[in-house]
Amino acid sequence: MHRHLLRRRALIASAGLAAAAPALAACGPDIASEDDAGPSSRLQAPDRTEGEITIWDRSGDLFEIFEGAIAEFNAAYPGIKVNHVAVDIDAKLQNTLITGADVPDGVFLDDAKVGGFTDYLWDLGDVLAPYTADIAQQKLDVNTVNGGVYGVPFDLDPGLLFYNATALEAAGIDIAAVATYDDLLQAARDYRAAVPGSAPIHLEQSAFLGQLQLEMYASQLGTSIADADGNLRLDTPEFERVLTFLDTVRQEGLGTRAEYLTPTDIAELDNGNQVFYPWAIWFSFAPQQVLTATSGDWRATQLPAWDAGGARSGAMGGSSFVLPKDGPNADLAWLFYEFLMFTEAGYTAVWGPGEVYPEGLATSIPSYTPAADPAKPLYSGITALGGQDLWTVATEAGAQIPGGTPTPAWWAGAVDYLGNNLQRMLDGDMTPQEVLAQSTEDIQVNLVDRQ
């Protein structure tokens, strides 16, 4: 649990730092475009396979997984030495890129931060070209800024509906009948009638995670807080629809208000009061490592659709690998990431069973579609999910995620407005329309106009 929460809390902290830090574009190096006489900003594959690379990752479970994959990489590239360093990326990366001193060749970075560092990163469009047709569109979109692709996509984090199968069966609730969010509301009403005092649907109490989950819901509807050009597009019918759903859960007393995997949340999951959890695939960690009384009772299915026949998943979170221009051997680092993400030996070493996760890395799926083949599972039966084949559920959901847009540099700063106002709505102090109108005004004036 410690490793998992470190990783998820690092996402929160990094996004917060991205909002607080000044925009890096104003102080980036003077790199000429390919139309100029100077060097190109587009990375090219190396014509050598010997050298030394420095790779930065955060400490935790993923660091250990990537560390274990180095031996597989060196079997393919014995001439490349990998210095794999656990680093507080959020504390060090910005100053390192500005000063140009001891710049690493490759860095693990949250998708939410890529757009803020592009002046310091290689455009990977050329080296990724052989693979782009087979990369999940949402992951390409979040890494694409002004036509350049600045990250090697890592994971895809599809939203799923986790549910307590044992509790629902006892209450006579058929999960197969939950195809839309209206169906989910009715199932929650039926469960509460069968289990008086229960509050079946999770309502997130963290302002940051609540905003992240809101974006997951909006992703299903093909929208997000900003468009591809970074323009705010919050006050829309799509966002109003999502907020109205959440407000209905609140008004009817159908929701358990708690922060993700805090003691209150865990207690309400284990006592059968909270039985529906619409969340990213990484919630699968809870029955595997956190829940006690109900471990083995939980299952996952696709999210409900907003309309019959609509998308049954949306993106919630994600990370990529970036290659700084001042990294002395960034071209060799590309070979490292190419191996991990786009070769069978590499992605099997990452997502398949290993020392860190004996049943496989079942908290995400690859964003490279040949690696996320439903017919070729990298992990399969998850004991804590009653032996369910989570791989098939997740890969089928991931294939339904609509395309996305780059995360604006001000996204985390918007939590002070949208995230907090969402919580005020769940307190009963604001309407969905007031949340959208007030948040739009505040974000535009205090964040967007100041970029």
> Using CA of residue 11, residue 423, residue 230, residue 368, what is the dihedral sign?
positive
Contact partners, residue 93, CB within 8 Å, separation at least 6: 56, 107, 109, 117
- Domain boundaries defined on the chain: 2-157+318-372, 159-315+404-450
Q: With contact defined as beta carbons under 8 Å apart, do 302 and 396 qualify?
A: yes
Taking each continuous run of H as one helix and of E as one strand, the counts in the chain are 17, 16
Query: Which residue blocks in 28-148 are alpha helix, DSSP H?
Result: 61-76, 89-99, 111-114, 125-128, 137-142
pLDDT at 79: 98
Contact partners, residue 279, CB within 8 Å, separation at least 6: 159, 160, 162, 202, 213, 216, 260, 316
Q: What's the Cα-to-Cα distance from 136 to each of 45, 139, 303, 315, rounded to whole Å?
A: 22, 6, 18, 11
Helix, strand, or coil (residue 96):
helix
- Report the distance separating Cα 192 and Cα 211, nearest Å: 26
Helix, strand, or coil (residue 428):
coil
Q: In residues, how long is the chain?
A: 451
pLDDT at 28: 29
Q: With contact defined as beta carbons under 8 Å apart, do 202 and 278 qualify?
A: yes
Name the nearest CA neighbour of 69 among 359, 337, 374.
337
pLDDT at 240: 98
Q: With contact defined as beta carbons under 8 Å apart, do 300 and 160 qualify?
A: yes
Both tokens of 403, joined, read 């395309």
Tell me which CATH code domain 2-157+318-372 carries: 3.40.190.10
**Does CATH place domain 159-315+404-450 in 3.90.1150.10?**
no
Contact partners, residue 212, CB within 8 Å, separation at least 6: 316, 317
Amino acid at 413: G
pLDDT tens-digit readout, 18-51:
433 333 332 322 333 344 333 479 999 999 999 9
- Report the distance separating Cα 138 and Cα 228, nearest Å: 12
Q: Tell me the backbone φ, ψ of residue 77, rounded to 5 degrees.
A: -130, 75
pLDDT at 228: 87
The kind and range of the H/E element at 277 are: strand 276-280
Q: What's the Cα-to-Cα distance from 338 to each of 95, 167, 191, 418, rounded to whole Å?
A: 27, 44, 48, 37
Render each residue's pLDDT in the chain as its tens digit; 451 residues. Answer: 434 444 444 444 344 434 333 333 323 223 333 443 334 799 999 999 999 999 999 999 999 999 999 999 999 999 999 999 999 999 999 999 999 999 999 999 998 889 889 999 999 999 999 999 999 999 999 999 889 999 999 999 999 999 999 999 999 999 999 999 999 999 999 999 999 999 999 999 999 999 999 999 999 999 999 998 889 999 999 999 999 999 999 999 999 999 999 999 999 999 999 999 999 999 999 999 999 999 999 999 999 999 999 999 999 989 999 999 999 999 999 999 999 999 999 999 999 999 999 999 999 999 999 999 999 999 989 999 999 999 999 999 999 999 888 888 889 899 999 999 999 999 999 999 999 999 999 999 999 998 7
- Report the distance separating Cα 323 and Cα 330, nearest Å: 6
Q: Tell me the backbone φ, ψ of residue 162, rounded to 5 degrees.
A: -85, 140
Q: What is the DSSP secondary-structure string of 331-388?
A: HHHHHHHHHHHHSHHHHHHHHSS-SS-TT--TT-EESBTTTT-TTS-SS-EEGGGTTE
pLDDT at 17: 38
pLDDT at 5: 46
Q: What's the Cα-to-Cα distance from 164 to each of 79, 149, 386, 432, rounded to whole Å?
A: 50, 40, 11, 29
368: left (phi over 0), alpha (psi -120 to 50) or beta: beta
